[in-house]
Structure 1
Amino acid sequence: MSAGTRRLPAGTTDPAEGSQRPDRLLRHAGTASRLALGGLLALAPLIDVVGLGGSPVFLLVGLLLGLPHGAVDHLVPAWLSARARPLSARVTLLVSYAAVAGAGLAAFRAAPALALVGFLTVSVVHFGTADEAFHAERDGRPVRPRVAAVVAYGGLPVVLPLALWRDHVDPLLAAVAPRAPALLTTEVRALALATVLGAVAVTMIRDVNAGRVGDAVQPALLAALFGTVPPSLAVGAYFAAWHSGRHVARLLRHDPRNAADLRAGRVGPPLRRFARQAAPPTVVAVGALLALVAWPGHRVDPLPATVAVLAALTLPHAVLVAWTDRREPGLRRPTG
């Protein structure tokens, strides 16, 4: 090796070399998510005719199917930083994660309407930055979210149902927090919708000008989906097939034990490894939720209980993902 040659960490390739083409795994994950939601959008007329999609069961199923995407949060820091590998660092992470989640649950008990509005706001930021990070990592670019793109990608699955499907959404909001619909006035929803649509236009134009025509189509797909498919079905499908599926693909790349398999084009072993890692936390979360809704003498409605638990877990999850994105994993490319 010459004196001027850098030695790269095991399982990575040179950023200059890797940025020449998109990452295969993330490219395929993006295609799969577009096909899933595109297929649902194609069925929208049939869904409308037969009256499917209005039941909150679809939302509950989608939320539960997407739950495992955050189940390995406690492992991610150690994958990306040697400082997070000692036992003391892992214990600190778990305690901090539980504390933040507990604070979220307490907020839902103390002020459910404000907590729900806060959860929706956090969701906009989290969904938007997740898609921006996904695209950057897929292309081998540094993760530097654009404000307009974050508002576009994050606002479409949250704001469009609130603004366009009020008769469907408000009963769900009221089931979680009775005063929440009153906080989201007509004026607030209209302003939020105008802001999101403006951000969508800016994002699509920027992507077209940058030569990313495929990315430019995605906000239009999401807008069509959330504008025509009942929100319970649309949000459930989006959370499971789009947001969670793309995040799992990123996680597979971040686990250093998957590097050799992904370089060879093998996705099965990494997926099985992820399933083993995610299973225990997911079982615990689902078990706690079942206890909440089925405990004799203290039963609660499954929908508000699920939303409260998911909201409580979303805040520490979003913080951890933001930390991950700041490490610019788009420059770490274990696949060809």
Structure 2
Amino acid sequence: MFGTVERRLPTDGEGAAGRLLVASWALFAGLTVLFGAATVFETTVPIRYQAIAYLALMIGVSLPHGGFEHVANLRGRGESFQVRYLLAYLLLIGASLAVFVLAPAAGLALAVAITCLKGGFGGLHVLESTTGSDHLTSRPQRVLGALVRGGAVMIVPMVAHPGVFYMVSYYMTALFEPQALADAVWLFESPAREVLAGVYLLALLVHLVWGYRRADGLGSWLPEAGETSLLVAFFAVVPPILAVGVYFPCWYATRQTARLSAGGGSLRTVLARVARGAVAPWLGALALLAGLAVALPEAPTTPTGWVALYSVFVAVIAVPHVLVGSWLDRRRGIWTT
């Protein structure tokens, strides 16, 4: 009745990918229900514990996985290409950090934008390798889909939890200039929040309807529409610090690993490959993080302060992650390895 499904996940390698996808769906659905109920009963998780969970998951899982993507991407490349790649990576890290130092509010905007792009376009590449993306038939449609999926990570919590979102944003910019957000408070208040919510909701509806009309059956549209809706609900009800801390290790990294599994090989083999390749870049990233902490006039003294510092750090390294590791490396970027 609805046509055939173009891509399934039943074979050995794809079965491992399917298990990872289902695990991420189940975890996020469960947390959405749990925190939805907590909201109804006015129960909250102290921010201190949210921050500790954020740091443990991001540093322990997401950071090494991000490093592995570059290791995998550079494997088998020529030496000259590797040198150019690393130089471009380091230059963009320096430039991104300079934005935070010289104009912290602009650095915050860069962090929000790059997070949306990484989550959005990275998510679409996972779909291509797993459940399919045949309903996204044009470049404008793909761009809109990426912005909607990525926007769920930043725009939805900004609208649903403005107080916490502003607090972390303030701490991030205050690392470099205490009053950097003094003139931007209005962005987190009415009517700016309502306008932002309306624009995002319109984009979400257009994306879902557009995909449905272009789909040849529900084979690829339904999983993508379900995932997008799940992400919106998740970030609407789960506290922002915890939500972001869970998203990148347990959704983004898990699904990128599923993408590798879909190409063949058992789940154990893929996980072992990721673990081996992640050690060196993870240690290097930790050294950069420590250097940034030491270079600040005053290092954070609370878990929330460390969340702010890590958020700056991960935004700085995410800029080359997206620009060098994917868009500028069109022949074989991190999302096509």
TM-score, normalised on structure 2? 0.78
Percent of aligned pairs with the same amino acid? 24
Write out aligned runs for 1:222-301 (5 A).
222-251=231-260, 259=264, 262=265, 266-290=266-290, 292-293=292-293, 299-300=299-300, 301=305
Q: Equivalents in 1 of 2:161, 2:89: separation in Å? A: 34
Deviation at 1:303, TM superposition (A): 2.7
Secondary structure of 1:312 counterpart:
helix
Deviation at 1:313, TM superposition (A): 0.5
Q: Equivalents in 1 of 2:23, 2:262: separation in Å? A: 17
Partner of 1:147: 143
Q: Do the aligned residues in 1 keep the contact of 2:72 with 2:277 (CA within 8 Å)?
A: no
Secondary structure of 2:130 counterpart:
helix
Q: Do the aligned residues in 2 keep the contact of 1:59 with 1:232 (CA within 8 Å)?
A: yes
Q: List runs of 5+ in structure 2 lacking aligned partners.
A: 175-179
Partner of 2:45: 52
Of 93, 96, 102, the residue aligned with 2:85 is 93
Q: Deviations over 1:62-98 (max 9, x none)?
A: 432311221024334345xx6xx22222122112111
Q: Do the aligned residues in 2 keep the contact of 1:176 with 1:307 (CA within 8 Å)?
A: yes
1:158 alignment partner AA: M
Secondary structure of 2:47 counterpart:
coil
Q: List runs of 5+ in structure 1 lacking aligned partners.
A: 1-17
Write out aligned runs for 1:12-31 (5 A).
21-22=8-9, 23-31=14-22
Q: Report how many aligned residue pairs link the two structures.
A: 302
Secondary structure of 2:318 counterpart:
helix
Deviation at 1:331, TM superposition (A): 9.3
Q: Equivalents in 1 of 2:6, 2:270: separation in Å? A: 23
Partner of 1:159: 155
Residue 61 (structure 1) aligned with residue 52 (structure 2): no
Write out aligned runs for 1:85-234 (5 A).
85-139=77-131, 146-178=142-174, 179-180=180-181, 182-183=183-184, 185=187, 186=189, 187-209=191-213, 210=215, 211=218, 212-234=221-243
Q: Do the aligned residues in 2 keep the contact of 1:71 with 1:282 (CA within 8 Å)?
A: yes
CA-based RMSD of the aligned residues comes to 3.2
TM-score, normalised on structure 1? 0.78
Deviation at 1:291, TM superposition (A): 5.1
CA distance change for structure 1 residues 291 and 331 in 2, over 3 Å: closer, same or farther?
A: closer
Q: Do the aligned residues in 2 keep the contact of 1:62 with 1:235 (CA within 8 Å)?
A: no
Deviation at 1:99, TM superposition (A): 1.3
CA distance change for structure 1 residues 193 and 326 in 2, over 3 Å: closer, same or farther?
A: farther
Deviation at 1:325, TM superposition (A): 6.7
CA distance change for structure 1 residues 327 and 19 in 2, over 3 Å: closer, same or farther?
A: farther
Q: Equivalents in 1 of 2:206, 2:330: separation in Å? A: 23
